[in-house]
Chain A
Amino acid sequence: MIEFENVTKVYPDGTKAIEEVSFTVEEGTTTVLVGPSGCGKTTSMKLVNRLEEPTEGTVYVDGVDNMAQDRIDLRRNIGYVIQEIGLFDHMTVGENIATVPELREWEQSRIDERVDELLELMDLPGNYRDQYPRELSGGQQQRIGVARALAADPDILLMDEPFGALDPITRDNLQDEFLEIQDRINTTILFVTHSIDEALKMGDQIAIFDVGEIVQYDTPTEILQNPKNEFVENFIGDNRTFKQLAITTVEEVMEPREERPPGDGDVISAATDGGDDYAIPADASLQVALTKLLGSEDPTLPVVRDGRVVGTVSERHVRSYFGPTEES
């Protein structure tokens, strides 16, 4: 858990980076700090592992004032991923991943095991272990960057625009992969980005920064539905509904399948007949669902999870999700 309590950071030259910032990142959740450049989001993140130190206020890491903790120990307990990746070119992939465990003097057998585990987690072939970072593509390098940050199983992970330097397709893939990894690890994540789309996609909570302060701290849905002021509205952009379609899953709007005798129901048999292209996965976004619905002759499509039909969705469901909320 990370808590900011009235934190102000003024640089020696008098620049005020952030002023009276307070927020909490609950354990095991991801908070994205987002805002235009120079808004103080990166400074805020660096205050967590004491790459910067607060002028006023307190940053609590796992309940303890981080200024009271040993700076080096603190950093070794916090994973750190940066945009420039910053792999050590003179070390193999395996050695790079093993950096923090080595610093913490784990036993060699435990380190080896952990490196294997992480290569697998990041979906990298085992023979990458002995290759050098420069031999790999940018996307693969950042996978190793993430693996290196997770190596000592930190409770907290800081990610400073981790996918910012990658091409759009690779970025999208890595975001998806990281979302899956996030489900499997119980790590508190602080994620910095300047892209609202990335923030909406990656965050459980989003903190929108204007110059030096947090304007709104809410869930992605809440931010899209109730932007607090004009700044937030402008920052999100004018296609809010479309963005909401991207972050809402089909499961949230579908009509759950009623218990029916086997063999009954044309939609369900159609799902089996029509194959994969016909049904919509339960975790797909409403953007995907709408695209399929618009291209389909049937007004209603089945929703599947693990090959089993769990419900149905139609244009009406999507529309009612956005319509005037009578009740919820």
Chain B
Amino acid sequence: MQSAVSTVAESIQFLSENFPEFLQLLQEHLLLVIISEITAIAIAVPLGVLAVRHERLKSPILSIGNVAQTVPPLAIIALMFPVLGLGFLPSFVALFIYALLPVLVNTITGLEDVEESTINAAKGMGMTPYERLTKIRFPLALPVIFAGIRTSMVINVGTAYLAFFIGGGGLGVWVISGINLFNMPQVLAGAVTGALLAITLDIGLAVIESRIGTASPDSSQVAA
């Protein structure tokens, strides 16, 4: 039985010995996460706007997002295999579908939570519907939308491990094959670095989020 300390030491050794491979896997992982996230944002935000603009479209749009989120990620990945085969593309599509909902929900919530009086003022002052959206609703909703992106991104880093099953690469290669081979140092080298990646992204995005937030300080600073 190996002690925990020696396992850690061995995984560090494993990491340094296989560093070029690690960089390769990390790159694949990040690429999957970032490209699927960007695509999810590019689709979810306009969909959210559409849902808010047309009340009738809202529930169908939201249910698409809900279904996408309810199906377990592994199932989505499994479903992609017969349709799109193996490799980057099916992994990307699966991750994209899974990343949609948090961004979509927060876009809708953010846009809808803008106070009615603010919109009435904008309307009364002669802003067109487009100007009300771009100059008022969207900037005011931005912190909420960004919080959705942050949640989605962090979940995405975890889900991307499953891409291994359909040949999408990424850190899952080390973790899942490591489990199969009972190679603990390899599992840890893949899992801990992934965890660190998620935490780093989360902190980085939190910093940006608070920057966006300071553009509209909260009511705790009301003047006397």
Mask for A54-80, Cβ within 8 A of B = 1, else 0? Answer: 000000000000000000111111101
B122 touches A88 (CB 8 A): yes
Q: B222 to A88, Cβ gap below 8 A?
A: no
Instruction: Name the distance in Å between B16's Cβ and chain A's nearest Cβ.
Output: 48
A77-94 CB contacts (< 8 Å) to partner B: 77-78, 80, 82, 84-90
B residues in contact with A140, CB < 8 Å:
223
- Chain A residues with CB under 8 Å of B136's CB are 88
The tally of residues in B whose CB lies under 8 Å from a CB in A reads 27
Q: A82-B117, A134-B216 are in contact. Are A90 and B124 (CB under 8 A)?
A: no
Decide yes or no: A84 and B117 within 8 Å by CB, A51-B124, A90-B139 being known contacts: yes
* CB-based nearest B residue for A86: B121
User: Given known contacts A90-B216, A137-B223, is B125 in contact with A80 (CB within 8 Å)?
Assistant: yes
Nearest neighbor of A89 in chain B, beta-carbon distance: B216
B140 touches A89 (CB 8 A): yes
A149 CA to B118 CA, complexed, in Å: 14
In angstroms, how far is the closest chain A Cβ from the Cβ of B211?
Answer: 13
Interface secondary structure of B, over-half rule: helix
Question: A100 with B118: in contact, given A90-B139, A132-B217, A135-B221 (CB under 8 Å)?
Answer: no
Shortest C-beta distance, A168 to chain B (Å), equals 18
Distance from B113 Cβ to chain A, minimum over Cβ atoms (Å): 12
A90 interface neighbour in B125, B127, B128, B215, Cβ under 8 Å: B215
- Pick the contact of A80 from B124, B217, B218, B219 — CB < 8 Å? B124
Give A100 to B127 CA distance when docked, in angstroms: 9
Report the count of interface residues on A (CB-CB < 8 A): 31
- Within 8 Å CB of B120, what residues of A? 51, 82, 84, 86
B218 touches A134 (CB 8 A): yes
CA of A140 to CA of B219 in the docked complex: distance in angstroms? 15
Known A86-B120, A90-B139; judge A76-B125 contact (CB<8 A). Answer: yes
Chain A residues contacting B126 (CB-CB under 8 Å) are 72-78, 100, 103
Report B-chain residues with C-beta under 8 Å of the C-beta of A249: none
B21 interfacial contact with A, CB 8 Å: no
- Chain B residues within an 8 Å CB radius of A132: 215-217
Tell me the residues in window 91-120 of chain A with beta carbons closer than 8 Å to chain B beta carbons: 99-100, 103
Q: Which residues of A contact B221 (CB under 8 A)?
A: 134-135
Residues of A within 8 A of B125 (CB): 75-76, 80, 99-100, 103, 148-149
- Inter-chain contacts of A134 with B (CB < 8 A): 216-219, 221-222
Q: Check if B128 sits within 8 Å of A72, measured CB to CB.
A: yes
Q: A132-B215, A135-B223, A140-B223 are in contact. List 16 more A-B contacts (CB 8 A).
A: A51-B120, A51-B124, A72-B126, A75-B123, A76-B125, A80-B124, A82-B117, A82-B120, A84-B117, A86-B118, A87-B121, A90-B140, A90-B215, A99-B125, A134-B222, A136-B222
Can you list 9 contacts pairing A with B, beta carbon distance less than 8 Å? A51-B123, A82-B117, A82-B124, A85-B121, A86-B121, A100-B125, A134-B222, A137-B222, A137-B223
Chain A residues in the interface with B (C-beta under 8 A): 49, 51, 72-78, 80, 82, 84-90, 99-100, 103, 132, 134-137, 140, 145, 148-149, 158
